A and B are shown apart, each in its own frame.
Chain A
Amino acid sequence: MWDYTDAVKEHFLNPRNAGEIAEPDLDATVGNITCGDALRLMMKLDDTGRIADAKFQTFGCASAIASSDVLIDLVRGKTIDEAAAITNRDIAETLGGLPEAKMHCSVMGMEALQKAIAQYRGEPFETEDEGEVVCHCFGVTDKLIEQVVRAQGLKTVEEVTHYTKAGGGCGQCHGRIEEILAKVRGPAPAEPSPAKSADKPLTNIERIRRIEEVIDTEIRPLLQADGGDIELVDVIGTHVQVAFRGHCAWCRMRDFTMDGTVGGKLRELVDPKIEVEDVGGHLGDP
């Protein structure tokens, strides 16, 4: 029995955005019936280029249907450029999280959106058209795996399977997935992550430098992808004060992002004792 959130159940049992649009401006399908899930995304633009209406058709499990339904909520009213910044993380967060083994459902939503936009812009859909198929059981390309490994900070083949399904069939591609992980994240023994090399306690200066480094390289790019940003305000021992900027500052998932993404990354890569405090409210931003 999967442990689905109430939001997943609600969007699955009562999807509001299922259906078809006559003559959509954007229309893309990802996945296929053999793989066990498929999503068709249709969008209609208004005169100003905003997404006036969107609908989905999905073949798949509860989390695939729920992910599709919130994807539509997320894109509606946005411009194409704004919609292009939506990631699977936004879908999963809006659903209050998905079971790890079901994250691929949120990735399928992101893929459909990226494919629809690429087709609309007349660009190649990188993860499908340009990549080399790594997992033949589920037709997953190296481009998609690289993209998701980078965006989600995945470390193991099992995580890659949870997020993309790659490697979940015959298992013959596990070696190739290891290579992609090593390529994206750097070979593990030669370039250990800061947390793994932290045999001796960090000095204050070292800790602050590493926190800055992780924010710059790991956290800020994720937030900027969603039109947000982050500022490091102060570091007192393992107590880190930061402030959200841009979209993040008024995002309703703000607390989740703060503890899950910012705190999670810093604890993982700098020091497991780190706690983050959101002091953005004191700085006078909207």
Chain B
Amino acid sequence: MSKVIYLDNNATTAVADEVRQAMEPFWTELYGNPSSIHTFGGQVARHVDVARQQLAELLGCHPVEVVFTSCGTESDNAALRGALAAHPGRKHILTTRVEHPAVLNLCHMLAKEPPLGAACHVTELSVDNQGMLSVAEMGNALDDETAVVSIMWANNETGTVFPVETIGAMCRDRGVCFHTDAVQAVGKIPIDLSAMPIDMLSLSGHKLHAPKGIGALYVRRGTRFHPFMVGGHQERNRRGGTEAVPLIVALGEAAELARKRMDDEQTRVPALRDRLERGLLAQCPDAHVNGHPNQRLPNTTNISFEYVEGEAILLMLNEHGICASSGSACTTGSLEPSHVLRAMGVPYTAAHGSIRFSLSVYNTDEDIDRVLEVLPPIIRRLREISPFGRGPEA
């Protein structure tokens, strides 16, 4: 296979060299337990503190507000279950139809009766054809029973960015806890939690050039919270379990790198993304962008190529070493296309041919040139094979 051109950074990212180097000693000589009394173990705790500080700086929060977890999914579970436990009289969860399965399936579980669920009533807000939710509709759905509002910062499939500041302010007015799944937003857009009415925020290390297996939950000071993972006193009694020191150090380093690279992420990455998007739309008729035109992550473009099927496109791109993803049925493994595109009312004909490119600071102009050279002939070829290649029959 030729050189890999990796344009699937919303799925996972490369571990940065700096990150790999930073965590290296903690796999070998610095293996102590940060809770130990002896110096050998105790010295490690200092590095966990540094990582917490690094992550707090990226988020614009206080280090004590950072709880390390194993992944974004755990953070989401901790947030929602923690909020429910802290508000025993309230049984309503407000979320959206386009959340990641980590939140959506969790809400479906919480809607079940105990012991599996919490007998909650779940409201899923709809979105418009650009993937945007209505703040007014959201406000109307809030009630005195609402225990927690969980709305993602940015959508993983389309990159559409929700107005979390407005949403958070409405929650605060009503005294409702607001959690945001910011797994796709952290590291890609500037975040300053000190100025945001957000009570809890989930993030995942492997989306910002740290390894898989580490995440974090931000819990604003003063937020009522009960631990999800119960055990030792680690993380100020908010998450039991011996700290994954090498991974925590890695996440700290990745957060610092993300902070340093934020300018690049805000300028060069969207320039590459826009060139890719414009080039593909210019060369491929019957193609259009799914998602919001400007309220969108700088690295993401989701394009539907009508009359062709996404898995076929991906596997042909794969032959050229190009990695992307699709919301088509054949790639979701469920026979139905992506729940996000369906919620947006994207016609099935377009959803089946949707391809998501998600860039990172490691992408180059050459990568984009290569996709622009390779993909249009693939679309033409698949349309030649397709009975709908000239458009659907009347």
Chain A positions near chain B (C-beta within 8 angstroms) = 2, 9, 12-13, 15, 18-19, 29, 33-40, 57-62, 64-65, 101, 137-138, 161, 165, 168-169
Contact = CB atoms under 8 A, between A and B. Distances in A.
A62 B316 CA distance: 9
B330 A33 contact: no
Nearest to B316: A13
Contacts of A40: 387
Contact of B388 (A13, A38, A64): A38
A13 B335 CA distance: 22
B136 interface: no
5 contacts: A36-B348, A57-B385, A60-B330, A61-B310, A137-B336
Interface string B319-350: 10000000011100111110000000000110
B225 interface: no
A169 B332 CA distance: 12
For the residues of A in contact with B, the DSSP-based class is: mixed
B309 interface: yes
A115 to B, nearest CB: 14
A18 B336 CA distance: 26
Contact of A58 (B329, B335, B386): B386
B328 A59 contact: no
Nearest to B328: A36
Interface of B: 307-312, 315-316, 319, 328-330, 333-337, 348-349, 352, 384-389, 392
B354 to A, nearest CB: 12
A137 B389 CA distance: 23
A101 B331 CA distance: 11
Contact of B336 (A13, A60, A168): A168
For the residues of B in contact with A, the DSSP-based class is: loop
Given A18-B384, A59-B307, A165-B335, 7 more contacts: A2-B311, A33-B392, A57-B385, A58-B387, A61-B309, A61-B311, A61-B328
Contact of B330 (A29, A57, A58, A61): A61
Contact of B315 (A12, A29, A161, A169): A12
A69 to B, nearest CB: 9
Contacts of A65: 312, 385
Contact of A33 (B315, B319, B384, B388): B388
A52 to B, nearest CB: 22
Contacts of A33: 307, 348-349, 352, 388, 392
Nearest to A58: B385
A36 B387 contact: no
A12 B382 CA distance: 10
B385 A62 contact: no
Contacts of B315: 9, 12-13, 62
Given A12-B315, A33-B348, A33-B352, A59 B333 contact: no
Contacts of A161: 335
